[in-house]
Chains A and B, each alone.
Chain A
Amino acid sequence: MSRRWAKLLSFLILFGMLLPPPAYAMHIMEGFLPAKWCLFWYALAFPFFIWGLLAIKKRVSGEPGLKMLLGLAGAFTFVLSALKLPSVTGSCSHPTGVGLGAILFGPASMSVLGAIVLLFQALLLAHGGLTTLGANTFSMAVVGPFVAYGVYRAFARLRPAWAVFAAAALGDLLTYVATSFQLALAFPQQGSVIAPFLKFCGVFAVTQVPLALSEGLLTVVVFNLLVRYGRSELGLLGILPEEAKADVAGR
């Protein structure tokens, strides 16, 4: 394990040396996406929001314990997206916190919780925006959770804790890759989206790398605590790791 960490760290440091000059990375600001793209992303995000509402209703109806756990998923996103952390690009960004909820409740549910957090930040903090809410919801509350959920499902059987880490970290990182892609689509250079995509990735995604690692670690901590103290809830959701199940049987 320590060798893996060493590899990861040296990779990070190498990555840091290749970085572009300081840039500022967060959600797309109010007015910074042409109107037709605002509509486009609203239209794409909307079905996921409805799907999420239905998924949440189906999941938590009749289970007050799961409502509390859903509250935890929302609260976790709320905290993490309030933490603006410094990054190796010399600028700040914040994690998203959507990975935990995506693992617990499925990716669609997080479309709803993520959209609520984004709405709060757009209205009260002038962070993100109402016109760009659709685009920001699509990147943070659709792409991020679906990536996280997919990664978790793929690796959960091998090593649950590592799967949680990778899911949360990649969900966070890919959120900002998606943001870069959205901006590149709206601002192509000589008809090509590839060059601006790389440019925006340099701004958004690279800044996000250390933050994504932090988010992965914090998600593992909360997930471990849930496995230890919230077995019945995780059991209801069908995501109790095998080793923890054996633990229960052994007692």
Chain B
Amino acid sequence: MSLGVKHLFLLILVVAFTVFPLYYKRGAEFGGADDRVETVITAINPHYQPWCAPLWEPPSGEIESLLFAVQAAAGSGFVFYYLGYLKGRKNKE
């Protein structure tokens, strides 16, 4: 099995791991709001109050997703720039 085929198989598996929960827990909220952790904490200690708030919060979900997209794009941009550089260097040898 060539490396490309092997990797295609691995990547399909990653997609499967990601899609499976969507099917298995269909109807769930799939929220990422960290403040839900609060419910677990208040169940243990009902008197606990967060004593500090973030300095700045993205004003909306759109802005937040923009920043996450920028983070992912910048990261993957460098990852693939570097992998492409290595491949080009190897091909030149």
Contact = CB atoms under 8 A, between A and B. Distances in A.
A217 B14 contact: yes
Interface of B: 3, 6-7, 10-11, 13-14, 17-18, 20-22, 24-25, 28-38, 40-41, 44-45, 48, 50-58, 64, 67-69, 71-72, 74-79, 82-83, 85-87, 89-90
Interface stretch (A40-48, A51-59, A102-110, A123-131): A123-131
Interface string A207-246: 0001101100110111011101110000000000000000
Contacts of B29: 22, 90-91
Contacts of A35: 51
Contacts of B20: 88, 210
Q: Which 9 pairs, one residue from A and one from B, show the smallest C-beta to C-beta distance? A: A90-B28, A31-B50, A78-B75, A79-B75, A24-B36, A31-B52, A75-B78, A229-B86, A90-B25
A213 B36 contact: no
A229 B87 contact: yes
Interface residues of A, number: 70
A11 to B, nearest CB: 13
A129 B82 contact: no
A208 to B, nearest CB: 12
Nearest to B22: A86
